[in-house]
Amino acid sequence: MNETPFMEFLISARRNANFLVGAFIIASVVFVAVLAPVLAPYGYDEPHKADRLQPPSAKYPFGTDDFGRDMLSKVIYGARITLQIALIGTFIQMFLGVTIGMLSGYFGGLVDKVLMYIADLAWCIPGIILALAVVTLLGKGLNNSIIAISLVNWTQFARIVRAKTMAIKNQAFIETGIAFGEKAPTIMLRYIFPNIVPALIVMISLQLPSTVISTTALSFLGLGSQPPSPDWGLALSNGMKYVSRGQWLSIFPGIALVYTVFGFNLLGEGVRDLIDPRMKSH
């Protein structure tokens, strides 16, 4: 039987518990995010003035916040923001990391030295500080906080892509390509890039949870999403104002966040084990 790599992946995926559970969790989050308008009992920013700071009840299963907004609806709509953070944030990191890593690994020499020094620099400054600096420069807001976190987290991608590029560059088929007169951009895109895709998929899935956590942290500090966004980090930040009068404000968005991050973690470990078991030992 002639099996494609993708088929092989599916077959072994059926036996990988981490992958299965992680995929199930993330699928459920996606489901909730897509069907938010159907599932949510109220609008996420719909205030019920008479029902401020209500504890969980039949009417409001997750309670209400200080404006009388239904927390369940906020949590449901928040899933959209979280997935947006995960996908866009990780994509920007990957884009930066792949571009810089490939240039660095392909050209070597001074280009490599400069680019890797920048990567080292980003590595030794505490991530949150760098992100805070970027947010200061760009201003508060969800998109800016996603950019800020990406500017911090791209270095891991760059490092691994660089190493892979350097390894692939010396293989015979690349030299053949060069001998045929292919230009550097073609070599990088057509010859090298396809060979780093598996590693890239592993890196993306490992990077998703930390992207979500750091971006949500910025929202929690009040520097990411601004009200009335249903962002879970922002909701938790709001909950901090009512720790003694409205604990439910701090509980439910947090559970949703942990559930999602846990799902991404499992999915990441599953994908890594399936695609590249050797990466397990750092």
Partner 1 sequence: MFSYIIKRLTQGLFLVFSVSVLVFAMLYMMPGDPIDQMMGWKVSQEKKDEMRHFYGFDLPMHEQYINWAAKIVKSGDFGLSIRTKLPVLDLMKARIPITLKFTGLTLLFDILIAVPLGLVCAYKKDSPFDRAVVGVSLFFTAIPQFWTAVLLILLFGVTWKILPLHGYETPLHLVLPVAAGVLGSFASTIRMTKSEVLDVIKEKYVLTAYAKGLGKTAVLIKHVLRNALILVTVLVSLSIPWLISGAVILEHIFGIPGMGGLIVNSIIMQDFAVVQACVLVISLLTVSFNLLCDFLIGILDPRISIALKGGER
Which positions touch partner 1 (CB under 8 A)? Answer: 117, 120-121, 123-130, 132-133, 135-137, 209, 213, 216-217, 220-223, 236, 239-240, 243-244, 247, 250-251, 254, 257-258, 261-262, 265, 281-282
Cβ density class 89-112: b for 16+ within 10 Å, e for less: bbebbbebbbbbbbbbbbeeeeeb
Nearer to partner 1, 35 or 240 (CB): 240
Query: What's the gap between Cα 183 and its chain centre?
Result: 33
Closer to partner 1 by CB, 158 or 223: give it: 223
Q: What is the rounded CA–CA span in Å between residue 157 and residue 201?
A: 11
Q: Is the Cβ of residue 35 or residue 255 nearer to partner 1 in the bound state?
A: 255
Nearer to partner 1, 40 or 257 (CB): 257
- Shortest gap between Cβ of 253 and partner 1 (angstroms)? 9
d(CA 75, CA 85): 15
> Side-chain half-sphere of 230: how many Cα atoms within 13 Å?
30
Q: Give the bridge partners for 64, in sequence order.
A: 70
State the nearest-atom distance from the C-beta of 221 to partner 1, in Å. 5
Q: Which of 172, 135, 169 is nearest to 152 (CA)?
A: 135
Rounded to the nearest whole angstrom, what is the least distance from the CB of residue 228 to partner 1 in the complex?
18
What is the gyration radius of the CA atoms in the chain, in angstroms?
Answer: 22
Q: How far is the CB of 79 from partner 1 (least distance, A)?
A: 16
- Cα distances from 37 to residues 41, 56, 73, 86, 127, in angstroms, run 8, 21, 9, 21, 35
CA angle, residues 84, 89, 91, in degrees to nearest 5: 105
> How far apart are CB 212 and partner 1 at their closest, in Å?
8
CB 28, min distance to partner 1, A: 15
- From the CB of 45, what's the least distance to partner 1, in Å? 22
Of 198 and 254, CB closest to partner 1: 254
For partner 1, the closer CB: 199 or 261: 261
**DSSP class of 108:** -
| 95 Ramachandran zone, left/alpha/beta (phi>0; psi -120 to 50) | alpha
- Select from 151, 144, 126, 137 the least CA-distant residue to 219: 144
Q: Which is nearer to partner 1, 105 or 224 (CB)?
A: 224
Nearer to partner 1, 41 or 55 (CB): 55
Q: CB 139 → partner 1: shortest distance, Å?
A: 9
